């Protein structure tokens, strides 16, 4: 039976890990006896991050449990009755792959007029498309870290800081690592994936480039990592239930209007290539999150950025939905 994993809390109560069947939530602690019988070795209060430390063993136990459960378990409750926290609460490392969708980068090239002098319109588009094809064939992913303190729940507000006038949305497929990974070959990379989820890599567009000293280049700290700048979840869908991560539709609506509606097939560097590249540079740990890039349709393309009162509805095929209201940061004395 297909399931996902999440982290929840009741009103005024502590957080707990749970199996999710659609919109029904079944706390793992309610399955303690059955889990032990199936060979589980996790502790009574195990978190999703704890389960990921021995993921291959634990996901096998969870699949056995799920297949044995009745359709309506007495201990299950509606997800809507609980607070939904990030499913991995929290990853130790968050890595983001930038400029990773072909159409997105081509659109940005035209929107910003970046290219050889004198090229415009169709000629500039052709130049950008050729450049992206060359990069996909011979280039490498572009990856930067984002602080875990930016993570918030799938239905929590996004707080817009006073420091930015151009907060932008970037809906992305999230990859959660399930094994220690270092120097992983592309052909084996998907074996290191525990599961998939949704993230919105909210970005302050006007803070990315350093203007005080241009040789410094980009400033990912101030532009990417304010609190709530990464809604994550609602749940982690195990990789065994995702047939092909490169064939998922990504859709984001702003106040009901579709802004992003693309397939993960448009990635320049697929999930396996990203894991190969990242693990060649750094050590990946179970529970680490990779945000795999955002498709075309960001606020920069529309010259429309997030404002107080906006409502963002996000969905990735088979992985659930997010809903985030935008609020302004409260001024403090």
Summarised one tens digit per residue, pLDDT across range 59-91 is: 999 999 999 886 567 788 999 999 999 999 999
Distance CA 269, CA 274 (A): 6
Distance CA 9, CA 308 (A): 27
Q: What is the pLDDT of residues 238-248, one digit of tens each?
A: 999 999 999 99
Quote the pLDDT of residue 333.
41
Q: Which fold has domain 94-100+141-328?
A: Fumarylacetoacetate hydrolase; domain 2 (3.90.850)
Low-confidence winner among 4-18, 67-81, 197-211 (lowest mean pLDDT):
67-81
Q: What is the pLDDT of residues 289-318, one digit of tens each?
A: 999 999 999 999 999 999 999 999 999 999
Interacting residues of 267 by C-beta distance below 8 A, sequence separation 6+: 100, 101, 102, 246, 292, 293
Domain ranges of the chain: 4-84, 94-100+141-328
Quote the pLDDT of residue 108.
83
What are the beta bridge partners of residue 244? none
Q: What is the pLDDT averaged over residues 6-31?
A: 95
Tell me the pTM. Answer: 0.96
Side-chain half-sphere of 271: how many Cα atoms within 13 Å? 27
Which candidate, 98, 330, 307, 311, places its Cα nearest to that of 201?
A: 98
Quote the pLDDT of residue 115.
82
Q: What is the largest CA-CA distance in the chain?
A: 71
Q: What is the pLDDT of residues 95-113, one digit of tens each?
A: 999 999 999 989 888 887 7
Asked whether the bond before 108 is cis by omega within 30 degrees of 0, the reply is: no
Whether the pLDDT of residue 119 is over 90: the answer is no
Distance CA 122, CA 128 (A): 10
Average pLDDT, the chain: 94
Report the share of the chain in percent with pLDDT over 70: 98
Q: What is the pLDDT of residues 162-190, one digit of tens each?
A: 999 999 999 999 999 999 999 999 999 99
Q: What is the pLDDT of residues 318-327, one digit of tens each?
A: 999 999 999 9
pLDDT category at 204 given cuts 50, 70, 90 is very high
Q: What is the pLDDT of residues 28-64, one digit of tens each?
A: 999 988 888 888 889 989 999 999 999 999 999 999 9
Q: What is the pLDDT averaged over residues 121-148?
A: 93
Is residue 49 within 8 Å of 58, Cβ to Cβ? no
Quote the pLDDT of residue 280.
98
């Amino acid at each position: 039976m297909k399931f996902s994993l999440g982290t929840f809390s009741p009103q005024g109560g502590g957080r707990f890990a749970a199996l999710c069947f659609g919109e029904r939530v079944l706390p793992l602690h309610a399955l303690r006896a059955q889990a032990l019988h199936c060979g589980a070795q996790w502790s009574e209060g195990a978190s999703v991050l704890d389960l990921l430390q021995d993921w291959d063993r634990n996901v096998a136990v969870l699949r056995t449990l799920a297949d044995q459960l009745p359709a309506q378990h007495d201990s299950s409750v509606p997800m809507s009755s609980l607070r939904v926290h990030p499913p991995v609460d929290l990853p130790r490392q968050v890595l983001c792959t930038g400029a990773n969708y072909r159409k997105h980068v081509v659109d940005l090239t035209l929107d910003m007029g970046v290219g050889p002098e004198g090229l415009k319109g169709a000629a500039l588009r052709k130049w950008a498309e050729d450049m992206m094809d060359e990069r996909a064939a011979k280039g490498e992913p572009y990856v930067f870290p984002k602080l875990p303190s930016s993570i918030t729940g799938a239905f929590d507000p996004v707080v817009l800081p006073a420091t930015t006038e151009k907060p932008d949305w970037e809906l992305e497929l999230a990859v959660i690592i399930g094994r220690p990974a270092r120097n992983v070959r592309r052909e084996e990379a998907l074996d290191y994936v525990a599961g998939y989820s949704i993230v919105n890599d909210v970005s302050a567009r006007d803070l990315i480039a350093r203007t005080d000293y241009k040789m410094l280049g980009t400033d990912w700290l101030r532009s990417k990592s304010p609190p709530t700048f990464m809604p994550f979840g609602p749940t982690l869908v195990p990789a065994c239930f995702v047939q092909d991560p490169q064939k998922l539709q990504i859709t984001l609506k702003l106040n009901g209007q579709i802004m992003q509606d693309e397939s993960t097939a448009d990635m320049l560097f697929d999930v396996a290539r990203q894991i190969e590249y990242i693990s060649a540079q750094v050590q990946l740990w179970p529970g680490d999150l990779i945000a795999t890039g955002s498709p075309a349709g960001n606020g920069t393309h529309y010259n429309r950025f997030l404002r107080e009162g906006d409502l963002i509805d996000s969905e990735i095929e088979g992985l659930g939905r997010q809903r985030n209201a935008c609020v302004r940061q409260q001024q403090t004395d």
